[in-house]
Amino acid sequence: MNSISSSQLDALSCRLAWYLGYKKGYRSRRSSPALEFGTGIHYALEQYYGKKADLIKSFEKWLAERIRELNKVSLDAANELFEMKGLGVGMLEGYLTEYPKDDFDVLATEQFMQRPLPAPKGCPDSDCFVSVRLDGLVRDHQTGRLFSLENKTFSQFSPQFLDLDHQMTAQVFVAQAAAEKIGIEGEVSGVIYNGLRKSLPSSRTKNRMFERIKVYRNQRQIDVFLNRAYWQYIESQKKGFAIYPQPSIPKCNMCDFQPICRSYSLGEDWKFLLRENYDKRKR
């Protein structure tokens, strides 16, 4: 069964990174402290909303277990992650102070969901599903409407991008099917962006530490996303789909395959680097 996500669609902006990361399934063995840290915050919030667990203790438990795992492969990565403990605890303590009572009821918590990708009118059906990971499905107290919950850690907040973000559009499309499947009444109106800034709360901090914003989606926005997803998927499945790097400073700076791309472009043995530094996940 083929599936496509908004992150995979974005990865297609560089065909080499998409080919290595999604088509072939390679993942770097090198740990990224920033990504590890975000995973820990997500885990703590999942436990807090899904199992009513202690938010701080859940993060500390995850951190201790992950550091033990990293100690076996990279002491530097383990130490870097340990040094972020104070930041994580401080953020979560601030979160509890900011939201002593939530303004929504949690109806379902984090799960991986898929929904068939429909074809535009007059086009052949695809064999593809839109896949998303939902942090939660909630009912807003103020409006009584259903929303997907999106927990985010961020360094810079760009509210102007929320209306354009196809990740949130994909969530609404899939969350509606999820709500119907588990018997929750109502239409999913959008996403509640639940953001935590990667910074310690302080009286000197000028930026908002937390952002909780309702991001609405209408049918036109969903149709635009589905049209994009269909045609990008169809194109990527064509025989002879050309693979090549497409350098971009913002994307290259965050790309796990930057060393491979450099070696590939220089005509060096990039396949050797791939074998030595990356693992191939199972489909």
pLDDT band at 233 (very low <50, low <70, confident <90, very high): very high
d(CA 181, CA 108): 12
Kind of pairing, strands 278-280 and 2-4? unpaired
Across the range 63-91, mean pLDDT stands at 92
Please determine, for residue 38, whether its predicted confidence score (pLDDT) is greater than 80: yes
pLDDT tens, position by position, 196-224: 999 887 766 678 899 999 999 999 999 99
Of 17, 14, 18, 16, the closest CA to residue 5 belongs to 18
Percent of the chain with pLDDT over 90: 75
pLDDT tens, position by position, 238-251: 999 999 999 988 88
In the three-class reduction of DSSP (H, G, I as helix; E, B as strand; rest coil), residue 87 is classed as helix
Backbone φ and ψ for 86, nearest 5 degrees, come out as: -60, -40
pLDDT band at 181 (very low <50, low <70, confident <90, very high): confident
Q: Which residues is 140 bridged to in the sheet? A: 104
Backbone φ and ψ for 282, nearest 5 degrees, come out as: -70, 150
In the three-class reduction of DSSP (H, G, I as helix; E, B as strand; rest coil), residue 185 is classed as coil
pLDDT of residue 30: 81
Q: Yes or no: say if 150 and 194 are a contact pair by the CB < 8 Å rule.
A: yes
Please determine, for residue 47, whether its predicted confidence score (pLDDT) is greater than 70: yes
pLDDT of residue 206: 75
Q: How far lies 7's CA from each of 20, 21, 149, 200, 271, in Å?
A: 14, 11, 17, 29, 24
Cβ neighbours for 146, distance < 8 A, ≥ 6 positions apart: 107, 137, 138, 139, 140, 175, 179, 184, 186, 187, 188, 189
pLDDT of residue 203: 67
Kind of pairing, strands 26-28 and 2-4? unpaired
Across the range 52-63, mean pLDDT stands at 96
d(CA 159, CA 215): 10
pLDDT band at 21 (very low <50, low <70, confident <90, very high): very high
Please determine, for residue 283, whether its predicted confidence score (pLDDT) is greater than 60: no
Q: Is the pTM of this model over 0.85?
A: yes
pLDDT of residue 109: 85
pLDDT of residue 142: 93
d(CA 281, CA 177): 28
In angstroms, how far is the first alpha carbon of the chain from the final one?
10
Please determine, for residue 1, whether its predicted confidence score (pLDDT) is greater than 70: no
8-state DSSP, 131: E
Least confident of 66-70, 86-90, 108-112: 108-112
pLDDT band at 61 (very low <50, low <70, confident <90, very high): very high
pLDDT of residue 31: 77
Please spell the DSSP secondary structure of 221-270, one letter per residue: HHHHHHHHHHHHHHHHTSTT--------HHHHHT-TTHHHHHHHHHTS-H
Q: Which residues is 149 bridged to in the sheet? A: 136, 192
pLDDT band at 90 (very low <50, low <70, confident <90, very high): very high
8-state DSSP, 137: E
Q: Which amino acid is at 128?
A: C
pLDDT of residue 274: 93
